[in-house]
């Protein structure tokens, strides 16, 4: 006689399988609402300058209370996505400097013993700056070259640890700018600032800076000649040497 297979069941009260179900935690309604509105902004459904529906209308759309809609809009405002005022709520036009400042603050909070290490920051810098040097060699114009030469001159004649570091960092920023990719500027600026404020050693020997000047001269020479691969290789060696400027606080 053919029998039908029995369903596999757990003993009554056994919650062992419930603990491995692929479930997501339910977040507060205002957070879910804010995330959907944020996705509309990121996806282009809401463009900079667009006016959002009023609180009451939004509450009806999402099936929530007016207070929940108000909380969602407040969350978007604190993140800089919208501006709330007597005339309504409007999608902001984000400027690169705003994004960079936000990233700098976030990286600063995340860096340290329990967050992003100095080694990770330096690795990220190399990932960004080495290709930037290659791009700069192919995209720079005379204006970029003039700024880089002036930065070299100031760096060679500056005095004191802070002045030296500032001028040398400016040289690196100019190379990123010469790469002609605005997103690279947004991404590298926060890394520069966090490395400076959190990890720069106070005891950099004076003999270190002439070596850095010489490495900068080599990088600029390759950029002037349009030698992308050589510029990238020189930047790689230079950033490796710069690791001695930073101390690990992990």
Considering the domain architecture, whether residues 106 and 45 belong to the same structural domain is answered as no
The tokens describing 145, both together, are 């070259």
Choosing from 67, 91, 115, the residue where a domain stops is 91
Query: Could you tell me the CATH number of the domain that includes residue 62?
Result: 1.10.10.10
pLDDT at position 100 is: 66
With contact defined as beta carbons under 8 Å apart, do 88 and 225 qualify? Answer: no
H-run or E-run covering 33: helix 29-43
Considering the domain architecture, whether residues 201 and 231 belong to the same structural domain is answered as yes
pLDDT at position 198 is: 67
Those residues of the chain that have pLDDT short of 70 are 1-20, 22-25, 96-100, 104, 106, 108-110, 112-114, 198-199, 247-250
Considering the domain architecture, whether residues 155 and 224 belong to the same structural domain is answered as yes
Residue 248 three-state SS: coil
pTM exceeds 0.85, yes or no: no
Considering the domain architecture, whether residues 73 and 102 belong to the same structural domain is answered as no
The count of structural domains within the chain is: 2
**Short-list 108, 122, 160, 144, CA closest to 219:** 144
Q: Which domain holds residue 206?
A: 97-245
Query: Could you tell me the CATH number of the domain that includes residue 153?
Result: 1.20.120.530
Using alpha carbons only, give the angle 215, 219, 225 rounded to the nearest 5 degrees. Answer: 145
Non-local CB neighbours of 171 within 8 Å, separated by 6+ positions: 148, 151, 152, 155, 216
Q: What distance separates the 2 farthest-apart alpha carbons in the chain?
A: 98
The proportion of the chain whose per-residue pLDDT surpasses 70, expressed as a percent, equals 82
Strand ranges (E), the chain: 82-85, 88-91
Considering the domain architecture, whether residues 51 and 152 belong to the same structural domain is answered as no
Choosing from 64, 91, 118, the residue where a domain stops is 91
Q: Is the dihedral of CA 206, 208, 211, 215 positive or negative?
A: negative
Strand ranges (E), 57-188: 82-85, 88-91
Choosing from 37, 57, 91, the residue where a domain stops is 91
Span 29-80, pLDDT tens digits: 999 999 999 999 888 888 999 999 999 999 999 999 999 999 999 999 988 8
How far is residue 246's CA from residue 57's CA, in Å, rounded to a whole number?
53
pLDDT at position 25 is: 67
Using alpha carbons only, give the angle 146, 154, 138 rounded to the nearest 5 degrees. Answer: 30
């Amino acid at each position: 006689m053919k029998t039908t297979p029995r369903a596999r069941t757990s003993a009554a009260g056994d919650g062992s399988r419930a603990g491995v179900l692929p479930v997501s935690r339910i977040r507060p309604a205002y957070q879910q609402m804010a995330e959907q509105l944020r996705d509309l902004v990121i996806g282009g459904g809401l463009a900079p300058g667009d006016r959002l529906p009023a609180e009451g209308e939004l509450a009806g759309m999402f099936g929530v209370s007016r207070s929940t809609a108000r909380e969602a809009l407040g969350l978007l405002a604190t993140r800089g996505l919208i501006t709330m005022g007597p005339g309504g709520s409007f999608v902001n036009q984000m400027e690169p400097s705003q994004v960079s400042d936000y990233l700098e603050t976030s990286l600063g909070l995340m860096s340290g013993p329990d967050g992003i290490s100095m080694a990770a920051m330096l690795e990220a810098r190399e990932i960004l700056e080495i290709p930037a040097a290659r791009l700069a060699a192919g995209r720079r114009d005379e204006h970029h070259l003039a700024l880089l030469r002036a930065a070299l001159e100031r760096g060679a004649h500056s005095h004191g640890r802070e002045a030296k570091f500032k001028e040398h960092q400016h040289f690196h920023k100019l190379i990123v700018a010469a790469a002609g990719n605005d997103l690279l500027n947004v991404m590298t600026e926060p890394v520069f600032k966090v490395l400076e404020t959190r990890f720069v050693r106070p005891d950099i020997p004076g003999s270190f800076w002439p070596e850095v000047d010489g490495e900068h001269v080599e990088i600029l020479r390759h950029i002037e000649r349009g030698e992308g691969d050589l510029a990238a290789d020189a930047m790689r060696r230079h950033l490796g040497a710069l690791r001695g400027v930073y101390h690990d606080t992990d």
